[in-house]
Amino acid sequence: MPGAYWIAHVTVTNPEAYGKYAEAAGPAIAKAGGKFLARGARYVQLEGKERARNVVAWFPSLEAAEACYRGPEYQAALAHAKGAAERDLVIVEAIE
């Protein structure tokens, strides 16, 4: 499945504010063609800093994923996450 993967590793520090982010982020991601493949499910940390919430979303392209992130709907959602979580987010282009 070509396209791109949006991979986030998150430690939530303010569940109420982060809940507002999650509520608004889902529709913004879907509007951009994104589909969640994993979100807050079980995981095994093998290396690096452990974050309790891990999210993987698929997008039709790297450009679509980046446009979603930079778009007004996602940025409005992201405003709720600022100060409410420690996050690492990367977009990785899929290979055939």
Task: Print the domain residue range for 21.
Answer: 4-43+52-93
Q: DSSP string spanning 9-48?
A: EEEES-HHHHHHHHHHHHHHHHHTT-EEEEES------SS
Question: Residue 1: what pLDDT?
Answer: 67
pLDDT-based confidence at residue 29 (cuts at 50, 70, 90): very high
Look up the CATH number of the domain holding residue 85.
3.30.70.100
Of the candidates 59, 60, 72, the residue with the CA atom closest to the CA atom of residue 89: 59
Total structural domains within the chain: 1
At residue 33, the pLDDT reads 97
CA separation for the pair 6, 15 (Å, rounded): 22
- For residue 95, what are the contacts with CB-CB under 8 A and spacing of at least 6? 2
pLDDT in tens, 33-91: 999 999 989 999 999 999 999 999 999 999 999 999 999 999 999 999 999 999 999 99
Q: Is the pLDDT of residue 16 over 80?
A: yes
